[in-house]
């Protein structure tokens, strides 16, 4: 139904660091990453949905060290799979995320996780699947 590992249709880079994730986030306004390897993950279609907040920082407080702290804390607590970063104004969100190819599942995950939007991989933008409901 949905992939929490990001194992399908991924682009991989090796030997990634928190500095790479930090730079990707600031350059691209966010991203999706494997929590174990810090690899950047992308999908040709489907949806990325936040299912639990790991950290919220102001952009000024979003340092490489703070990102490392947030991700390492999540790892110690047993979080596996994917995490995402998203910059909204001056705020940087770091969330546990899942991938699903199905809009109906993405819509339900958005609803139960109280997310403002989901990331539409094909369109390359964040959208509100619950708008108009």
- pLDDT at residue 14 in the model: 61
CB 35 within 8 A of CB 81: yes
Q: Does residue 98 fall inside a structural domain?
A: yes
Residue 7 included in any domain: no
Q: 36-66: per-residue pLDDT in tens?
A: 999 999 999 999 999 999 999 999 999 999 9
Q: Does residue 78 belong to any structural domain of this protein?
A: yes
Q: Which residues of 8-33 are buried (b: 16+ CB within 10 A; e: fewer)?
A: eebeeeeebebebbbebbeeeebbbb
Q: Structural domain tally of the chain? A: 1
Quote the domain boundaries for residue 116: 18-127
Within a domain: residue 24? yes
In a domain, 3, yes or no: no
Q: What is the mean pLDDT of the chain?
A: 89
Residue by residue, DSSP assigns 14-80 as SS--HHHHHHHHHHHSEEEEETTT--B---SSSEEEEEEEEEEEEGGG--HHHHHHHHHHHHHTT--
pTM, whole model, 2 decimals?
0.85
Q: Does 11 map to a domain?
A: no
| Domain membership flag for residue 39 | yes
């Amino acid at each position: 139904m949905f992939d929490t590992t990001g194992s399908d249709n991924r682009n991989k880079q090796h030997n990634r660091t928190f500095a790479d994730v930090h730079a990707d986030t600031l350059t691209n306004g966010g991203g999706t990453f494997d929590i174990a390897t810090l690899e950047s993950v992308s999908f040709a279609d489907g949806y990325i949905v936040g299912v639990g907040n790991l950290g919220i920082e102001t952009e000024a407080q979003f340092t490489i060290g703070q990102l490392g702290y947030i991700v390492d804390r999540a790892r110690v607590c047993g979080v596996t799979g994917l995490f995402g970063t998203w910059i909204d104004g001056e705020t940087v969100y770091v969330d546990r995320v899942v991938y699903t190819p199905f809009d109906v599942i993405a819509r339900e995950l958005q609803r139960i996780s109280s997310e403002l939007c989901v990331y539409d991989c094909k369109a390359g933008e964040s959208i509100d699947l619950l708008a108009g409901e």
